[in-house]
Amino acid sequence: MKKRILIFIVAYHHEKSIQSVLSRIPQSVFAHDTEVLIIDDASTDSTFQKAEEYRDITETPFKLTVLYNPDNLGYGGNQKVGFQYAIENNFDIVALIHGDGQYAPERLPELLQPLLQEKADAVFGSRMINRLDALKGGMPLYKYVGNKILTTFQNRALGTNLSEFHSGYRLYAVDALKKLPFDLNTNDFHFDTEIIIQLVFAGLKIEEIAIPTYYGDEICNVDGLKYAKDVFKVTSLAPLQRLGLLYQRKFDFSEMKGEKRYTSKIDFDSSHSLAIREISYGAKVLDLGCSSGIIAAELKARGCTVTGIDSVPTENRAAFEEYYVCDLDRDELPVDIAPFDYILLLDVIEHLADPEAFVDRLYEKLGNKPQAKLIVTTGNIAFIVVRIVLMFGAFNYGRRGILDMDHKRLFTFSTICNLFEERGFDLLEKSGIPVPFQLAFGRNKFNSAMNKINSVLLKVLPGLMSFQILCVFKPRPSLGHLLGQAIETGDRKRAAL
């Protein structure tokens, strides 16, 4: 079955080149069900007229549609309208080229192949795969250097390996576009960067194919410094969403990908790994809010027996000795917690509507048998990045991290310690937990180094540099327990007289 292909030409003041671009489209492309769409973005020259005239002066083997935006929507805004046209008219592939002829229409047959064979979700024509060809094709040296610097930075920040982020020669599977909220993207030139981030975050496949570089006498409408600044900003901020430090709806693909809310953080310094280090081999552990059983499985491998309690059934029942479904906010705990060696509250206390009442209930059950250690982790709302974004008026809840939208309370070192100390617990230990760079940017040497630097800094300025907080508490003996000890000891002494 033939694919429906839309060749979409974005045009703005291209009266001199638009007919040439149309004539350069290879005839082989029209063996498919192909339409050419030109959208003139409110040009004040005769771009629209020249495009319309092409139909009259040339016997075109394709349907040509020419549209005109009454207001200038910008480079990104124009793309949005064209992509919406592709979606509403049930095309399978949309190929984006520019009306100035900078990107060779002659390469369309080659660029279409991965999409026709359904081997990619997007195909980019890259001028930087064969690097010296870009300079030979007339790319100014400052643009070449700027392209390389920005692309290197973007690959590091996003965990990608693209040869170029800044080519405007792009082809998309329309089914892929339907999955992207591209309508929320900027109307400016860094629309191209934002849609790459969306493709990456959505887990869609990008393929690059080398294209020739051509710089002619076309007028460049891009402010290079502003473009670089915009690209740097959006590329820097987008990965912070994975840490829960910022949230932008256009980069949220957790539901589409069916991502698990909680992932393993055992293989680097994190709330998971640091809590596990506190627990002795063979201990008896109660894991409150145990989620998917990530911690329980690791502890079981260390000879511990783990009882789990959470508000939903577990995905990993085999990791637990016993498992109970219980609402920690409303229900009484279904087991006697006094005999346990350790009680885990890992990233749980901030989800409770009334943590004070919950901690009171814990102490009531532990004060007369004060042997268990309580290991608590929570996000540090005083973390430097949160402070900085707050300074600029941002305080956006997201899917995970310190500002998880399910969080009902937020803590600093002092407030989490006060919560427990004022309700009968002694603080044995407190420490900062570094940023989980590996979750946000991938597991590589660079991010491991960043993690180590963060670990050093949080020892100097824990309140400012800790992403999360770990505290170990022990219940103080209750007055009833102390009275019982006094009576028992007095009885023994009298008996010895």
pLDDT reported for residue 240: 79
The pairing of beta strand 342-346 with beta strand 468-475: unpaired
Task: Please report, in angstroms and rounded to a whole number, the separation of the first and last CA atoms in the chain.
Answer: 102
The pairing of beta strand 170-173 with beta strand 122-126: antiparallel
The DSSP-derived string for 63-114 is EEEEEE-SS--HHHHHHHHHHHHHHHTT-SEEEEEETTS-S-GGGHHHHHHH
pLDDT reported for residue 254: 74
pLDDT reported for residue 377: 95
pLDDT for 274-333, tens place per residue?
A: 999 999 999 999 999 987 788 999 999 999 999 999 988 888 888 999 999 999 988 899
Cα(176)–Cα(203) distance, integer angstroms: 10
The DSSP-derived string for 195-225 is HHHHHHHTT--EEEEE------SPPP---HH
Token duo for residue 129: 């795969």
Helices (H) and strands (E) in the chain, counts: 20, 14
pLDDT grade for 221, boundaries at 50, 70 and 90: low
Q: Is the pLDDT of residue 73 over 70?
A: yes
Average pLDDT (15-34) is 93
Cα(241)–Cα(246) distance, integer angstroms: 5
Q: Tell me the CA distances in angstroms from 384 to 243, 402, 405, one per residue in order.
A: 13, 12, 20
Cα(80)–Cα(175) distance, integer angstroms: 15
The three-point CA angle 95-155-112 to 5° equals 20
Cα(232)–Cα(222) distance, integer angstroms: 15
- DSSP-based three-state secondary structure for 46: coil
Containing H/E element for 37?
strand 33-40
The pairing of beta strand 4-11 with beta strand 284-288: unpaired
Q: Is the pLDDT of residue 219 over 60?
A: no
Please give the backbone phi and psi of residue 372, each rounded to the nearest 5 degrees, phi first: -75, 150
Maximum mean pLDDT: which of 153-167, 251-265, 398-412, 432-446: 153-167
Dmax over CA atoms of the chain, in Å, equals: 122
Maximum mean pLDDT: which of 54-63, 264-273, 374-383: 374-383
Q: Tell me the CA distances in angstroms from 473 to 288, 352, 375, 411, one per residue in order.
A: 15, 19, 7, 16
pLDDT grade for 399, boundaries at 50, 70 and 90: confident
The DSSP-derived string for 127-169 is SSSSHHHHHHTT--HHHHHHHHHHHHHHHHHHT---S-S----
Containing H/E element for 337?
none
Percent of the chain with pLDDT over 70: 94
Given a contact cutoff of 8 angstroms between Cβ atoms, the answer to whether 124 and 163 are in contact is: no
The DSSP-derived string for 450-491 is HHHHHHHHHHHSHHHH-SEEEEEEEEPPPHHHHHHHHHHHHH
Amino acid, single-letter form, for residue 258: G
- Give the residue ranges of DSSP H helices in 344-466: 355-366, 384-391, 413-421, 437-441, 445-460, 462-465
Q: Which domains does the chain have, with CATH numbers?
A: 4-238 (3.90.550.10), 271-481 (3.40.50.150)
pLDDT reported for residue 258: 55
User: Could you tell me the pTM of the whole model?
Assistant: 0.71
- Using only C-alpha atoms, the chain has a radius of gyration, in whole angstroms, of 30
pLDDT for 174-186, tens place per residue?
A: 999 999 999 999 9
Q: Is 44 left (phi over 0), alpha (psi -120 to 50) or beta?
A: alpha
Q: Tell me the CA distances in angstroms from 271 to 297, 302, 310, 474, one per residue in order.
A: 15, 18, 18, 19
**Range in 19-33, 38-52, 148-162, 392-406 the model is least confident about:** 392-406
